[in-house]
Amino acid sequence: MATTQVWLGMPPCASRNSDVYMGVTASAPAKVILFGEHFVVYGEPAIVMAIDKRAYAKVELRQDKRLYLRSVNLNLAGCFETGFFKVEQGGTKEARLKFEPLKLVVEKVQEIYGENAGLDIEVNSTVPVAAGLGSSAAVAAAATAAVGALLKVKMSKEAVFRISYEAEKIVHGAQSEVDPAVSTFGGTLLFQMDTGVRPLDVKADVPLVVGYTGVKRSTRVQVAKVRDTRNKYSRVIDHMMKAAREIVLRAIDALKDGDLETLGDLMNINHALLCGLGVSDESLEWLINAARKAGALGAKLTGAGGGGCMIALAENERLKQVLEAIQRAGGSPFIARKTDEGVRIEGI
Ligand code: PMV
């Protein structure tokens, strides 16, 4: 992705070896997939938008060489010291699994810095986990930027993106670059497998209600399910792929023009295709129907489906109504707005 070099945490001319900072906090946004999930795996385009829910990473320098990690939301804490991991709060396996990507982030930044420093990292996030909102990528981007700024390492957003992408590969296996890209750069991005990410011009506000079903799901399982369906009914699915592509192309224009009505219609059609692929479930359908009945312009699942989250598009004056309807239907909703702000330093 072509980007301007934005230096994080210090002016571009600052030298690496000046004194490090004692504490830095950085944040990065979560995301929703507006259109094209699943079809994107087979080469079709998808549209992803950064939202104003952020993950925060606070980093402080330690006197020793240990890496101490704490997740406020997951109630986990642990320490890496010379390759060994010691849990201090929560289960060892879970803590190690969650902290391994952060350890990689620290190692990558310290490679650039040129030596190892002991660090305390505390992660705090308002993003539901395993819900398809890109919480792990937001945490990785925020932590990369915070560690970089603390050590006064010259880091462009491009560098933050590359390191967060490495961390995401540990979390999700072979993962597309969408989540780390949107958490790093913010805004609305068009993604396609063969061309990568490209920022989209979206002037309009895109008022959304995100509804979390409370059902945790695995992207890997959902992707495998679609693969099976596609193998079985390839000619049928091929037509759906073409329809999905058309939806994205129409949506690019509608986003540019701020045409919310068309966007809502396209969301509904996109959701119908996802239902056809078999990735919706009862928990999502309840919330989607409730949102539509309450006057949403359109609603669909977002991400891998099988639980996780749905999104509803609504005019500003209807947002509250839609939010309450989703709540009554058993979901945990919040209002989300597009944010153009990707990863940023919050305070030094
Ligand atoms: O629910 P998420 O954020 O993991 O999104 C998955 C999106 C898929 O298209 C289903 C998979 C992918 O890698 O693009």
Q: How do residues 233-243 score in pLDDT, each as one tens digit?
A: 999 999 999 99
**What is the model's pLDDT at position 174?**
57
Residue nearest to atom 5 of ligand 1 (CA): 303
* Gap between the Cα atoms of 325 and 267, Å rounded: 18
Nearest CA to ligand 1 atom 11: 38
Mean pLDDT of the chain: 91
Question: What residue ranges line ligand 1, CB within 6 angstroms?
Answer: 37-38, 40-41, 132, 134, 176, 219, 222-223, 303-304, 308
Tell me, what's the pLDDT at 3? 39
> Residue 72: pLDDT above 60?
yes
- Work out the average pLDDT over 273-291: 98
The confidence band for 173, taking pLDDT boundaries of 50, 70 and 90, is low
Q: Identify the CATH class of 208-336.
A: alpha beta
> Which numbered atom of ligand 1 lies nearest the CA of 131?
1
Whether 7 shows a pLDDT value over 60: the answer reads no
How many residues would you count in the chain? 348
Q: What is the mean pLDDT of residues 70-78?
A: 95
At residue 263, the pLDDT reads 98
At residue 11, the pLDDT reads: 38
21-25, 47-51, 209-213, 266-270: least confidently modelled range: 21-25
Band of residue 115 on the pLDDT scale cut at 50, 70, 90: confident
**Which ligand 1 atom lies nearest to the CA of residue 222?**
10
The rounded distance, in Å, linking the Cα atoms of 261 and 224 is: 33
Residues recognised as catalytic:
179
Q: How far is the CA of 288 from the centre of ligand 1 (A)?
A: 19
Q: Are the C-beta atoms of residues 178 and 90 closer than 8 Å to each other? A: no
- According to the model, what pLDDT value does residue 8 have? 54
- CA–centroid distance, 213 to ligand 1, in Å, is 17
Atom of ligand 1 nearest to the CA of 302: 1
Give the residue-averaged pLDDT of 259-272: 98
Contact 44, 245 (CB under 8 A): yes
Helix (H, G, I), strand (E, B) or coil at 141: helix
- Domain map of the chain by residue range? 24-201, 208-336
Say yes or no to pLDDT of 265 above 80: yes
Tell how far the Cα of 298 is from the centroid of ligand 1, in angstroms.
20
Closest CA to 153 of 22, 26, 5, 12: 12
Residues 6+ apart with CB under 8 A from 74: 90, 94, 98, 129
Range among 11-15, 18-22, 216-220, 334-338 with highest mean pLDDT value: 334-338
The pLDDT value recorded for residue 17 is 44
Q: Could you tell me how many helices (H) and strands (E) the chain has, helices first?
A: 9, 13
Confidence of residue 6 (pLDDT cuts 50, 70, 90): very low
Q: Where are the beta strands (DSSP E) in the chain?
A: 23-35, 46-61, 67-71, 76-81, 84-89, 119-125, 188-192, 196-199, 208-212, 298-302, 309-313, 332-336, 344-347
Residue 134 alpha carbon, nearest atom of ligand 1: 3
CATH node for 24-201:
3.30.230.10
Q: Name the least confident of 21-25, 159-163, 303-307.
A: 21-25
- Return the ligand 1 atom nearest residue 39 CA: 9
Question: What pLDDT is stored for residue 2 in this prediction?
Answer: 41
- Position 152 pLDDT exceeds 80: yes
Centroid of ligand 1 to alpha carbon of 113 (angstroms): 33
Mean pLDDT, rounded, for 91-96: 93
- The predicted pLDDT at position 14 comes to 37
Structure tokens at 51: 């939202």
Q: What percent of the chain has pLDDT over 70?
A: 93
Ligand 1 pocket test, pick from 31, 32, 33, 300 with the greatest ligand atom count within 8 Å of Cβ, gives: 33
- Measure the CA–CA gap between 91 and 172, rounded to whole angstroms: 20
pLDDT at 13 over 80: no
Name the residue at shortest CA distance from atom 3 of ligand 1: 132
Atom of ligand 1 nearest to the CA of 226: 10
For residue 21, pLDDT over 80 is answered with no
Contact 343, 30 (CB under 8 A): no
Q: What is the mean pLDDT of residues 182-193?
A: 96
Contact 71, 77 (CB under 8 A): yes
In whole angstroms, what is the distance from residue 194 CA to residue 123 CA? 34
Distance from Cα 32 to the centre of ligand 1, integer Å: 10
The pLDDT of residue 293: 98
Ligand 1 test: best mutation among 219, 223, 230, 270, most atoms within 8 Å of CB? 219
Q: pLDDT at position 16, please? A: 43
| Residue 215: predicted pLDDT | 94
CA of 37 to the centre of ligand 1 (A): 6
Section 94-98 average pLDDT = 92
307-328 pLDDT per residue, tens: 999 999 999 999 999 999 999 9
pLDDT band of residue 187 (cuts 50, 70, 90) is very high
| 27 Cα: distance to centroid of ligand 1 (angstroms) | 22
- Integer Cα distance of 41 and 114 in angstroms: 38
The count of other CB atoms within 10 Å of the CB of residue 15 is 8
Q: pTM, whole model, 2 decimals?
A: 0.89
